[in-house]
Amino acid sequence: MPSNTSPIFKPLRKRTFEEVSAQIREQIAAGGLREGDKLPPERQLAETLGVSRNTVREALRSLEHAGLLELKPGSGGGAYISNGGVNAIKVAFDDMMNLGTLSSQDLMEARITLGREVARMACLRYTDADMAAMEANFEQMCAAAKAGNFKVRVQYSVDFHRLLARAAGNPVLAIMTSVLVDITMNFVRVLGEMPNEFVIDSRQRMLGYLRARDVENTVQEYTDYMQKTLRNYMRDTQLDSTELRSTRKN
Q: For residue 219, is it within any domain?
A: yes
Q: Which residues of the chain have pLDDT under 70?
A: 1-5, 10-15, 83-88, 91, 97, 186-196, 232-250
Q: For residue 1, is it within any domain?
A: no
**What kind and span of H or E run contains 250?**
none
Domain of residue 176: give its range. 86-246
pLDDT in tens, 152-202: 888 899 899 999 999 999 988 988 898 888 877 766 565 555 556 789 999
Q: Do 230 and 162 sit in the same domain of this protein?
A: yes
Q: For residue 162, is it within any domain?
A: yes
Q: For residue 174, is it within any domain?
A: yes
Q: Do 115 and 47 sit in the same domain of this protein?
A: no
Q: For residue 3, is it within any domain?
A: no
Structural domains of the chain, count: 2
Query: Phi and psi for 80 in degrees, rounded to 5?
Result: -115, 140
Residue type, 48: T
227-248 burial, b if ≥16 CB within 10 A, otherwise e?
bebbeebbeeeebeeeebeeee
Q: Do 127 and 232 sit in the same domain of this protein?
A: yes
CA 39, CA 249: separation in Å to the nearest integer?
49
CA 250, CA 120: separation in Å to the nearest integer?
11
Q: What is the pLDDT of residue 114?
A: 94
Q: Do 122 and 227 sit in the same domain of this protein?
A: yes
Q: Do 78 and 90 sit in the same domain of this protein?
A: no
DSSP string covering 7-46: P-----SS--HHHHHHHHHHHHHHTSS-TT-BPPPHHHHH
CA 18, CA 31: separation in Å to the nearest integer?
20
CATH number (domain holding residue 182): 1.20.120.530
Q: Do 23 and 120 sit in the same domain of this protein?
A: no
Q: Do 124 and 232 sit in the same domain of this protein?
A: yes
CA 138, CA 188: separation in Å to the nearest integer?
20
Q: Indicate the residue among 82, 109, 139 that finishes a domain.
A: 82
CATH number (domain holding residue 76): 1.10.10.10
Q: For residue 10, is it within any domain?
A: no
Q: Do 167 and 239 sit in the same domain of this protein?
A: yes
Q: What is the pLDDT of residue 69?
A: 86
Q: Are 124 and 218 in contact (CB under 8 A)?
A: no
Q: What angle do CA 218, 220, 223 make, to 5 degrees?
A: 110
Verdict on whether the full-model pTM lies above 0.85: no
Q: Do 62 and 153 sit in the same domain of this protein?
A: no
- The end-to-end CA distance of the chain, in Å, is 38
Q: Do 71 and 95 sit in the same domain of this protein?
A: no
Q: Do 146 and 120 sit in the same domain of this protein?
A: yes
Q: Indicate the residue among 82, 108, 129 that finishes a domain.
A: 82
Q: Do 100 and 33 sit in the same domain of this protein?
A: no
Q: For residue 208, is it within any domain?
A: yes
Q: Indicate the residue among 82, 116, 131 that finishes a domain.
A: 82
Q: What is the pLDDT of residue 115?
A: 94
Q: What is the pLDDT of residue 143?
A: 92
* CA-based torsion, 45, 48, 54, 59: positive or negative: negative
What is the pairing mode between strands 69-72 and 78-81? antiparallel
Q: For residue 217, is it within any domain?
A: yes
CA 70, CA 83: separation in Å to the nearest integer?
9
